[in-house]
Structure 1
């Protein structure tokens, strides 16, 4: 039996300081995410970051929480259900790297269901050691302790796949037709510059994504690319989304749209960071309208693209 496991980052179980600290502890202890010796990093994490960031992030989560729970969790679940409908003869499930349902539990369920041909589909169109490599580490670590493993198809990147780029471009086009603007910003989740210097191809894949979408849109407005979600004092990929929006506003741009192509589901970074925090930066600098273009979320065209990507990889 064939199976597909869609894996996203994770989310706190509830918007409380305790739950957020628990989630951050798991996320920020991943050596792929924070490439610092744990002897030095763990005291910083537990003594300085989690005590303060937990309550602050909890307040932000409370603003975006829905009746169904975390947007990231509910959207990822819906995407898996849609993909299951498109792949009726396969078993489709979803997992989270740093929260529930866990990768280990879902891989166990796949084994118990008799899946012997498994496709791992990370929810990250662009490859990075901080995201995709961490997912693959978890999968390999699980099977390292099993007596047998299925035939594995590991999808490490799909930012060049035409079906994905078509779905992303159409999503942007549809939303811009409703809200015309002067400038379009492609805002990607950032990574430390040192990771890129060590060979992480993420920045190039982000640039390739932007180029692929722009070629399809042929926009009449100006386009910029930037990086958001900087964490810690180290130098991250530039330019920052915050500074890009401030510079645009100060330069006379009054309306912008921001798309976040590294996210396939709405979450704190898209709803709060872009829709609230960065909107504030733009307006404080003189801008009047920031349109947050939602990620592809439950767009049927995007889920169909995922189906095509899965099927192609299963044939390889």
Structure 2
């Protein structure tokens, strides 16, 4: 039996340019798990309103976070895969992206060619949502619907309350609170439309469970809030919105915050730009004094060990 592990994250434009962002967004926003509107309603909006304009604005934001080596999300995902491969040398470790290269079908094809007969797929989203983990499952299932043979398949649908994950978040926060003992904690998760939760998506409950289990290790005397970021489109999303919360808190006497994004395992546009720059600006402009952003796991060996545990559970 030959074992393999496939890490899957969302994806990223190949370059911080409008054409590359347009290609990426066209794939992402065409996913029926992400946008559930009827095609006849959504396609004119996507191709007539969003794709002609949004890529230019998004590309400008990507340029602010781009590194000499490329996309932070891609670089950290590569590093996570490399570190996991070093930790588990007897297994085949690869990574894939839902909406950019290397694609899920490409990675699964390579696993087949390498003779992997026991495969663990780990979506890089701690909390399950139909918009993220559900989409990864769809792509894996679609590949094997056309395959002549299937490996023994293990699919990690979430790890929102895995002890190592909770402990790692708590340790990161505790270190920050040593420096900012009077800060209020903000747990900022990526948002989803409220109607998805109303239809049974367990995402908000899993986010709340993560927050509660982390706070059980932090202590009852530390003030905290939970919020949701990255709203897209006019519909109602999960509330409260991180942006609105950070605008309001200084007027309520909260001048010092520590912000953590437990739904992300690697820095990307939504963390570096939206939290680290935009939301920091909202907080400071409204009277905040100190804004501390805690980065995701990125290349942390702690996260690599967590991935190894998930793969072997």
Which 4+ residue blocks in structure 1 deviate beyond 3 angstroms? 178-181
- Give the conservation status (yes or no) of the 8 Å contact 2:13–2:23: yes
**1:284 CA drift (Å):** 1.5
Q: How does 1:95-174 map to 2 (within 5 A)?
A: 95-174=96-175
Structure 2 length-normalised TM? 0.98
**1:296 CA drift (Å):** 1.3
- Give the conservation status (yes or no) of the 8 Å contact 2:176–2:258: no
Q: Secondary structure at the match of 2:7?
A: strand
Q: Secondary structure at the match of 2:52?
A: helix
Range that drifts further, 3-12 or 178-187: 178-187
- Give the conservation status (yes or no) of the 8 Å contact 1:168–1:302: no
Question: Which residue of 1 is the match for residue 27 of structure 2?
Answer: 26
- Give the conservation status (yes or no) of the 8 Å contact 2:121–2:156: yes
The yes-or-no answer on 1:190 pairing with 2:187 is no
Q: Secondary structure at the match of 2:206?
A: helix
The yes-or-no answer on 1:3 pairing with 2:10 is no
- Give the conservation status (yes or no) of the 8 Å contact 2:177–2:183: no
Provide the rounded CA distance (Å) in 1 between the counterparts of 2:65 and 2:177: 23
Q: How does 1:24-63 map to 2 (within 5 A)?
A: 24-63=25-64
The yes-or-no answer on 1:293 pairing with 2:302 is no
Q: Secondary structure at the match of 1:51?
A: coil
Question: Which residue of 2 is the match for residue 89 of structure 1?
Answer: 90
Q: Secondary structure at the match of 2:89?
A: coil
- Give the conservation status (yes or no) of the 8 Å contact 1:164–1:306: no
Provide the rounded CA distance (Å) in 2 between the counterparts of 1:248 and 1:73: 34
Change in 2 beyond 3 A, CA 1:96/1:52: same
Provide the rounded CA distance (Å) in 1 between the counterparts of 2:302 and 2:86: 13
Provide the rounded CA distance (Å) in 1 between the counterparts of 2:304 and 2:54: 34
- Unpaired segments ≥5 residues, structure 2: none
Provide the rounded CA distance (Å) in 1 between the counterparts of 2:182 and 2:136: 37
Provide the rounded CA distance (Å) in 1 between the counterparts of 2:217 and 2:166: 8
Question: Which residue of 1 is the match for residue 209 of structure 2?
Answer: 208
- Give the conservation status (yes or no) of the 8 Å contact 1:64–1:268: yes
User: How many residues get paired?
Assistant: 312
**1:178 CA drift (Å):** 3.8
**1:132 CA drift (Å):** 0.2
Provide the rounded CA distance (Å) in 2 between the counterparts of 1:265 and 1:216: 23
**1:176 CA drift (Å):** 3.4
Provide the rounded CA distance (Å) in 1 between the counterparts of 2:116 and 2:274: 39
Q: Secondary structure at the match of 1:93?
A: strand
